[in-house]
Structure 1
Amino acid sequence: MTVHLKATYRQLKMYIWFVLMIIVLGIIAELIVTYFTDTSEISSLSEGNMIIILLPLMAIALPLSYYKRIVHLGASRQQYFKGLHTVFAVWAAAVALINSIWNVLQMQVFHNYDNTVDLINAFHRNDFGFAGSFLYQTAFYLMVMALLSMLISGYSNPVGWLLSALIITAIPIGTAIPSLRIHVASFFKTLLINDSLLLGVGFNFLLYTVFVASGWLFTRRRVH
């Protein structure tokens, strides 16, 4: 696990620090604007939420580049796949923890929450407490990373192309047809804003399992 974490970090180090630098510059710019102008009516995204962008970046970049490097060094596809999803799990948990801590700091320490949009509150994950919010976030992040990784891993497979096309077109078609719109809304409500922590986390982990299994089917047949 240590080897995979170090190797993937070194491969994505430039992108990770670039994203962090953009976030810091954005915070500085916001502080300057806030100091010189009246921004009481302006809402901004929570700084902690901005780091989430690292997760889809990893889920897309690593299956493309890390696979070639580690397999060419002699690792098996199974070793690569297990290592990749271990890295996903560590980063998903880390980002979820950072967001949960930042949410608490904003409300109880900084007291600047009135004009801040935080995804934890937007999706009512704070209703489950600190631990519940962390668990729900981790499950959702893992599911999304597994989905993106699966699609990228199947980029050279006709089935992968078909699956990508189906997923991309499913949402606009589902929302355009009135009879399907309610089912699409129900799906995303169950996935994102579930009143039950057990059902919400369980549904995300169920999809995660499906995407991981599908990703392995694509990975075991990859030749490049």
Structure 2
Amino acid sequence: MNKTTVLLRASLLQLRLYLWIILGVIAVSVITDLIISLAMGPGNNSSVSASNLFNVLLIFVGSVLPASFFKRVINIGATRKEYYVGVLLVYAISAAFLALLNIAWLQLEMNVIRNYEHTFNILVIFHWDQFGIVGMFGYQFGAYLLLLALLNLLFSGLRHAAGWAIWAVFVATIPLFTAIASLRSKLADGLQALLFNPSLLQGFGLTFGVACLLFAGGWWFTARRSYM
């Protein structure tokens, strides 16, 4: 068994608890929505798409692995480079899997579920459904990698002064850009370009490009990270 396979299995074990928690929450949510829909009658209930709820897993993948997985894999003999390549592979697999899951579930929603209840699906909200199956996959993949790259950068730098500075800027930017009208419009324009871009090529190019830059920053912190 090569080191890449070992890292993948170790990362799955690291995330197993969070995966079971998410599965439990989603199961309760689906059962609750089903009961409400049956009680209210067809078309009178609204809910978030069940497959979209799985996207919460990205938050755990992007934070748990850089925060606590590093020391574990270093202790089993992996190098920093092997750890980071393994983590990037986990990120790519997670993004691709969730993209495919959301595409398949959207077809089920359109053909079956929406006969009984209205659903809110990010593929429709962000207008990614206009790009076809390949386009939906590509745009999701880029957007999910962007989220993972941001979390990876933030949690990879927890033990570095520059990392804390990035955290401070990130935390301060959110209320600042939402409170000031001129900055709020710039924030809206940025989100429009990243997530609501009418051009698939531009949307994927921006999300994937920014993700690569953030991953490079994550590697900078990882290369300087202590074993403790």
TM-score (norm 1): 0.95
Gap runs ≥5 in structure 1:
none
1:69 is matched with 72
**Matched ranges for 1:12-91 at <5 A:** 12-38=15-41, 40-91=43-94
Q: Which residue type is aligned with residue 94 of structure 1?
A: F
CA contact (8 A) 1:157 1:218 kept: yes
Paired with 2:185 and 2:132, the residues of 1 have a C-alpha distance of 29
The percentage of aligned residue pairs carrying the same residue is 39
For structure 2, the 5+ residue unaligned runs are none
Q: Which residue number corresponds to residue 115 of structure 1?
A: 118
Query: 1:58: Cα distance to partner?
Result: 1.1
Equivalent pair of 2:157/2:164 in contact (CA under 8 Å): yes
CA–CA distance in structure 1, aligned partners of residues 49 and 116 of structure 2: 9
2:9 pairs with 1:6: yes
CA contact (8 A) 1:106 1:113 kept: no
Q: Could you tell me how far 1:28 is from its partner in structure 2?
A: 1.1
CA shift at 1:114, angstroms? 5.8
User: C-alpha displacement at 1:78, in angstroms?
Assistant: 0.7
| Deviation, structure 1 residue 38 | 4.3
Give how far 1:91 is off. Answer: 0.7
Q: How many residues align?
A: 224
Partner secondary structure for residue 155 of structure 1: coil
Which residues of 2 match residues 157-176 of structure 1 at below 5 A? 157-176=160-179
CA contact (8 A) 1:107 1:113 kept: no
Shift of 1:25: 1.8
Runs of 4+ in 1 over 4 A off after TM superposition: none
- Specify the alignment match of 1:180 in structure 2: 183
1:147 equivalent in structure 2: 150
Paired position in structure 2 for 1:204: 207
AA of the residue aligned to 2:147 = V
Moved more, 5-14 or 98-107: 5-14
Matched with 1:213 is 216
In the superposition, the TM-score normalised over structure 2's length comes to 0.93
Rounded Cα–Cα distance in structure 2 between residues aligned with 1:113 and 1:213: 46
1:99 aligns with 2:106: no
- Tell me how large the CA RMSD over aligned residues is: 1.5
Letter of the structure 1 residue corresponding to residue 105 of structure 2: W
TM superposition shift of 1:4: 2.2
